[in-house]
Copies of this chain bind each other. A is one copy, B any other.
Amino acid sequence: MLPTLLQIPPTAYISKMNLLPHLSSKKIILASKSPRRQQLLRGLELVFEVRTKNTDESFPPELSGQDIATYLAKAKADAFQSEINENEIYITADTIVWINDHVLNKPESREEAVQMLKNLSNNRHIVYTGVAITSIAQQIIFFDSTEVYFTQLSEEEIICYIDQYKPYDKAGAYGVQELIGYIGIERINGSYYNVMGLPTHKLYDALKAFR
């Protein structure tokens, strides 16, 4: 097992703590394969179910930055449109890495992963996460952005990281909560959890307002 920082609250607490009592009769569904998002939602002490579906992750080429993230969060919700039941609330999200006015997707090869980390090295980029909260009656869409500043990474550090952590499921070829985030990120400006995959404070606020 690779080290992971997030502490998952013991299950005993989940049923006691309820800062969102108006949602207690609702079934919350996280429609995401990302284990990071599942951890983050557990960190909010919500009881939820995971349902996933393969969705097309393409987007209109004229979109940029935050609009790509919110477009894809909504597209992921749309994929469940015909299945949403009365008491269900779906949470969908998309995280993108935005650098020099273009998006870094998930790397498709080792070479592409190396190239992405070379681009991020000694550079600033922005992570946007778009989120959609969707029920039969309501949909809230929002995003958060975080600036991330990488130090100068050596080729050895890049290769060590890629071969050990295999970040092929991660936009921009890195996980902030993995080795490269420990040694290579000197600072962020914004929400750390947004970089991991969910802006938890904004999600909590949106759920407070969701009826």
Name A's B-contacting residues (CB within 8 A): 2-3, 5-14, 16-17, 19, 39-40, 42-45, 110-111, 114, 146, 151, 155-157, 159-160, 163-164, 176-179, 182-193, 196, 200-201, 204-205
Q: Are A201 and B151 in contact (CB under 8 A)?
A: yes
Q: Are B44 and A182 in contact (CB under 8 A)?
A: yes
Shortest CB-to-CB span from A127 to chain B, Å, is 13
Q: Are A13 and B159 in contact (CB under 8 A)?
A: yes
Q: Are A6 and B177 in contact (CB under 8 A)?
A: yes
The listed residue (B14, B189, B190) touching A163 by CB distance below 8 A is B14
Question: What is the CA–CA distance of A9 and B17 in the complex, to the nearest angstrom?
Answer: 31
Question: For A10, A13, A159, A184, which residue has the most chain B Cβ atoms within 10 angstroms?
Answer: A13
Q: A12-B163, A155-B2, A189-B189 are in contact. Are A179 and B43 (CB under 8 A)?
A: yes
List, in ascending order, chain B residues with CB within 8 A of A111's CB. 5
A to B CB contacts below 8 Å, 26 in the list: A3-B42, A3-B43, A3-B45, A5-B114, A5-B155, A5-B159, A5-B196, A7-B178, A8-B159, A10-B110, A10-B163, A11-B163, A19-B156, A19-B157, A19-B183, A43-B179, A44-B179, A44-B183, A146-B187, A151-B201, A151-B205, A182-B200, A182-B204, A183-B200, A185-B201, A187-B190
